[in-house]
Amino acid sequence: MQATITRIITLLLISFVMMSCRGQMSDKPPIHPQQNMDEQERFNAQQVNPFFEDNRSMRMPVEGTISRGNLRHDTALFEGVNDNGDFVTRNPIEINREFIERGRVVYDIYCQVCHGGTGDGQGIIMTEGYGYVPAPTFHREASYDMPDGELYSAIANGIRNMPAYNTQIKVEDRWAIVAYIRALQRSQNIPESEMTQFDVDLAVLIEEDAQERVRLEELAAARAAGASDEVSVERGERLYVQNACTACHSQDGSRLVGPSFLNLYGAERNFTDGTSQIADEDYLIESIVEPDALIVEGYDNVMLAYDYLSESELQSLVEFIRSLSDN
């Protein structure tokens, strides 16, 4: 009996103690015997950290180490090149309908605004007069002959005025875009006899194509109607900036992607085919509208054709280049 009473009293005491803790307010911090690194000194990006000799809180990776998941041992997949540094000719990822569809989605997000829905280089950025360097069409021999790895490299690393998309587009999606570009090239070159095998309305497609051609012709006519016939150094300098010539051709003699315009007019140019020529008006205009006709020694054939420029615009560019020469 005594034992029973003792147990009852003990339970009552415990109950009172527990009840006394319920809802009790205190200005003291809670007891936290096991910290588990819940409270520790931390640093924001670029903040000074006196623990290190250089006072930098942002640390470089340990030399010779690779963070988990970032091993890039497969150069064909991650860089688009084989062991000897040449671009791979074929997409290293298996191509199926789902993969191409993924390429279409990503292409429409990142590429269509410049390269156009069909890959013809007539995206809205190029056709609405914003002054960008024209994006190349994928429907040309140079693009058809381009290895898949070279297309991948252009997406990952950028090329000429096109920025790199290696931080926006993941590796698999870059290859998916390459696959979709190939599909676009194929789609624009299917014979009518082969198209009849598919469930498509050729009459509708032909009509849509005709309407698009009319739209582009009207746009070109509107530009021509509003174009000035002025030929001047000042206009040439504006065109030099508007068409992003600054990205490849300097005015101070420094070497960029292409030859500097400083003292270019009247100078002798040596070409990769072994010939040479004086950089006169005819040569400069030809170099602008047909840049692959003569390639200057020491430079790559990477310039796009500016054959959309009017005669007065070409003459103004020549006058601007002439103004930078002592000849």
- Which tokens hold the place of 82? 């084989």
Per-residue pLDDT tens over the stretch 267-301: 999 999 999 999 999 999 999 998 888 899 988 88
Of 106-120, 282-296, 298-312, give the lowest mean pLDDT range: 298-312
- How many Cβ atoms from other residues are within 10 Å of residue 38's Cβ? 7
Full 3-state SS string of 217-241: HHHHHHHHHHCCCCCCHHHHHHHHH
* 8 A C-beta contact, residue 281 and residue 314: no
Domain boundaries, the chain: 75-191, 233-323
Whether the per-residue pLDDT at 306 is higher than 70: the answer is yes
| DSSP code for 191 | -
Copy the structure tokens of residue 213: 């051609």
Residue 20 has pLDDT above 60, yes or no: no
Query: Mean pLDDT of all residues in the chain?
Result: 84
pLDDT of the residue at 244: 72
Domain 233-323 in the same topology as domain 75-191: yes
CA 292/CA 181 separation, integer angstroms: 23
When comparing pLDDT for 302 and 79, which is higher? Answer: 79
Q: Which CATH class is domain 233-323?
A: mainly alpha
Angle between helices 171-187 and 148-157 (to 10 degrees): 130
Could you read off the pLDDT of 196-255 as tens digits, one per residue? 777 778 788 788 878 878 877 776 676 666 566 888 999 998 888 877 787 788 899 888
82 touches 88 (CB < 8 A): yes
pLDDT tens for each residue of 49-75:
998 999 999 888 888 888 777 777 888
Strands 268-270 and 276-278: antiparallel
Task: Report how far residue 29's alpha carbon sits from residue 45's, in angstroms, rounded to the nearest whole number.
Answer: 30
Between 117 and 198, the more confident residue is 117
pLDDT in tens, 130-177: 667 778 889 988 889 999 999 999 999 988 778 899 889 999 999 999
Whether pLDDT at 32 is above 80: no
pLDDT at 73: 81
pLDDT computed for residue 278 by the predictor: 92
Q: Which CATH class is domain 75-191?
A: mainly alpha
Res. 327 pLDDT band, cuts 50 70 90: low
DSSP string, 277-324: EE--HHHHHHHHH-TTSSPBTT--S-PPP-TTS-HHHHHHHHHHHHHT
Q: Distances from the Cα of 326 to the Cαs of 200, 237, 248, 252, 301, in angstroms?
A: 62, 17, 21, 13, 27
Please state the φ and ψ torsions of residue 277, each to the nearest 5 degrees: -160, 150
Q: What is the pLDDT of residue 61?
A: 82
State residue 171's pLDDT score: 93
- 282 touches 269 (CB < 8 A): no
Contacts by 47-51, CB closer than 8 A, 24 or more apart: none
pTM of model > 0.75: no
Pairwise CA distance, residues 278 & 30, whole Å = 86
H helix runs in 39-96, sequence order: 75-78
The predicted pLDDT at position 222 comes to 65
